[in-house]
Amino acid sequence: MLNRSISRYISLQIALLVSAILLVFYYMITVVYDWGLDDSVHYFMVLEAECYIEHGTPAASNASITVYPTYDALPQPIQQAFGNQTWKEKELYYQSQDDQFFYLMPYYNSSEDQLLFILHTDYEDHDNEMVGLSIGEIASLLALAIVVLSIGVIRNLGWSVIKPIKALHEWNHQISSQSKTTKSVDPIPDFRFNELNEAAEQIRHSITEINQRNDKEKQFLRVLSHELRTPLAITKASLELIHKTKSQLDPKLANKLNKIERANTNMCATSEVLLWLWSDDFAPFNTQRLNLNEIIQLEIENNLYLAANKDVTFSLFEHEEFIEANPVLVQIVVRNLIRNALQYSTDGKIRIDFQPKTGLTVSNPVAKQANPENGVGDYGYGIGLYLISTLCEKMKWECVTQQDTEQFQIRISKIGNNTTNC
């Protein structure tokens, strides 16, 4: 997204508008001036023609305007400048030569039943002889006045509109960056305009609603934490007591006990990570030096029952890799990676590799046509990849998955730090 400032945008738009107005204004004032000049010349030439027809002599007050009874009576240079053409009565014709301007107008002489011609001669530098300002100087002064007025408008907009908008932005940034409860939200300052005040009210209402929902979620998590941990702890303690008499149990009951113990272990681990992921406690976990190879081998042994009806083998890196990380989080990630690979793998080889630069990679073969009924039932499974991606996002680890018709691969890089191998 582009970084755009509303003040710069409004200023730029006004500047463009003013520039366009100045260009149009300068053009129009010169055009209107020429129109006015032509109309004035036309008026006095018609006046001279009527005076000539009525009295037979031109008016003495217009020495620059001369009436000729016929076209042939015009001076030879004028005839050469205009040439022979079809003349229209009272039409003003224009030509220039050197530093002179010639206006020629045919006029019907009813007493002679023919056209007479009125010639007006003007000079290009007549403005220099006039007392006062030229049309160019007048247009420039008016343009300067428009620029000054435009600057004043921009400053007024900046003071009356842009400044309150900036204040709203700063206020929004301030209250958004602070961790406040519902009761501690500051009163809304006056942003001058009703629309901005309504927007601020909506912002504060949204923050208040978010704070209320966060409070409810925190309370819910505290209750849920107690309600989950207590029965799970009781179940785990009871299973440990029963496990001591496992040798006296019937083999079928012993197999059922194993499934219950695995389900309880998985439920405890999953509930712990869920409660941590959806809590506001962002305190970092304690870390220690871990042997990643041993953790992976242990999780493979604990979850091999998922591949009881499959011909699956593992290809695991043989060298020992030590990482600095929290053991619980690493165990959760590794357990879900192994379980996901076993749960959805078809017959073949599951490859597990670790490289300091690329991270931990797990790939497993998949059937060309997915078969959700694999004959293995397991409680609490189905959110493994979601837990992995969410946990990696919170721990700033990179999680990338790739899948084609024959293989699924997941790679987690930046897992732990201070990686060393032996």
The answer to whether residues 266 and 343 belong to one domain is no
Of all residues in the chain, what percent carry a pLDDT higher than 90? Answer: 2
Domain boundary among 116, 143, 170: 143
Residue-level pLDDT at 376: 41
Q: How many other CB atoms sit within 10 Å of the CB of residue 70? A: 12
The answer to whether residues 295 and 246 belong to one domain is no
The answer to whether residues 143 and 26 touch, using CB atoms and an 8 Å cutoff, is yes
Residue-level pLDDT at 281: 57
Looking at the predicted structure, is the pLDDT value of residue 59 above 60?
Answer: no
Q: Average pLDDT of 13-42?
A: 76
Residue-level pLDDT at 5: 63
Looking at the predicted structure, is the pLDDT value of residue 307 above 60?
Answer: yes
Q: Alpha carbon 250 to chain centroid distance?
A: 66
**End-to-end CA distance of the chain, in Å?**
47
The answer to whether residues 238 and 116 belong to one domain is no
Distance CA 197, CA 205 (A): 12
Looking at the predicted structure, is the pLDDT value of residue 239 above 50?
Answer: yes
231 part of a folded domain: yes
What angle, 0 to 180 degrees and rounded to 10, lies between the N-to-C axes of helices 194-243 and 251-277?
160
242-284 pLDDT, tens digit each: 888 877 778 888 888 888 887 787 777 777 767 766 665 555 5
Distance CA 181, CA 210 (A): 10
The answer to whether residues 251 and 298 belong to one domain is no
Q: 35-44, 56-65, 152-161, 381-390: which has the minimum mean pLDDT? A: 56-65
Looking at the predicted structure, is the pLDDT value of residue 124 above 70?
Answer: no
The answer to whether residues 257 and 320 belong to one domain is no
The answer to whether residues 249 and 295 belong to one domain is no
The answer to whether residues 326 and 272 touch, using CB atoms and an 8 Å cutoff, is no
Here the tokens at position 101 are: 């301007």
Tally of structural domains, the chain: 3
Neighbouring C-alpha atoms within 13 Å toward the C-beta of 333: 29
List, in order, residues 6 or more apart from 20 with CB less than 8 Å away: none
Query: What domain range is 381 assigned to?
Result: 284-421
- Find which of 235-244, 269-278, 363-372 is predicted with most confidence, using mean pLDDT: 235-244
Q: Average pLDDT of 64-79?
A: 86
How much of the chain is in helix, strand and coil states, percent to nearest 5? Answer: 55, 20, 25
Residue-level pLDDT at 240: 83
More confident residue, 128 or 5: 5
403 part of a folded domain: yes
The answer to whether residues 321 and 417 touch, using CB atoms and an 8 Å cutoff, is no
Residue-level pLDDT at 24: 76
Q: How much is the CA Rg of the chain, to the nearest whole Å?
A: 47
The answer to whether residues 322 and 403 belong to one domain is yes
173 part of a folded domain: no
**CATH of residue 392:** 3.30.565.10
Can you name the residues that pair with 348 across neighbouring β-strands?
A: 312
The answer to whether residues 123 and 194 belong to one domain is no
30 part of a folded domain: yes
Distance CA 131, CA 138 (A): 13
Here the tokens at position 63 are: 């020495």
Task: Look up residue 110 and give its amino acid.
Answer: S
Q: 92-101, 274-283, 352-361, 370-379: which has the minimum mean pLDDT? A: 370-379
DSSP letter (8 states) at residue 411? E
Task: Look up residue 1 and give its amino acid.
Answer: M
Structure pTM?
0.46
314-345 pLDDT, tens digit each: 888 877 888 888 887 888 888 888 888 888 88
Domain boundary among 84, 118, 143: 143
Q: How many other CB atoms sit within 10 Å of the CB of residue 342? A: 24
The answer to whether residues 204 and 315 belong to one domain is no
157 part of a folded domain: no
178 part of a folded domain: no
Given its phi and psi angles, is residue 57 left (phi above 0), alpha (psi -120 to 50 degrees) or beta?
beta
Residue-level pLDDT at 186: 62
The answer to whether residues 62 and 80 belong to one domain is yes
Domain boundary among 258, 282, 306: 282
The answer to whether residues 10 and 119 belong to one domain is yes
| Average pLDDT value for the chain | 76
166 part of a folded domain: no
**Where does 209-317 show beta strands of DSSP type E?**
288-291, 312-316
Residue-level pLDDT at 4: 58
162 part of a folded domain: no
The answer to whether residues 333 and 242 belong to one domain is no
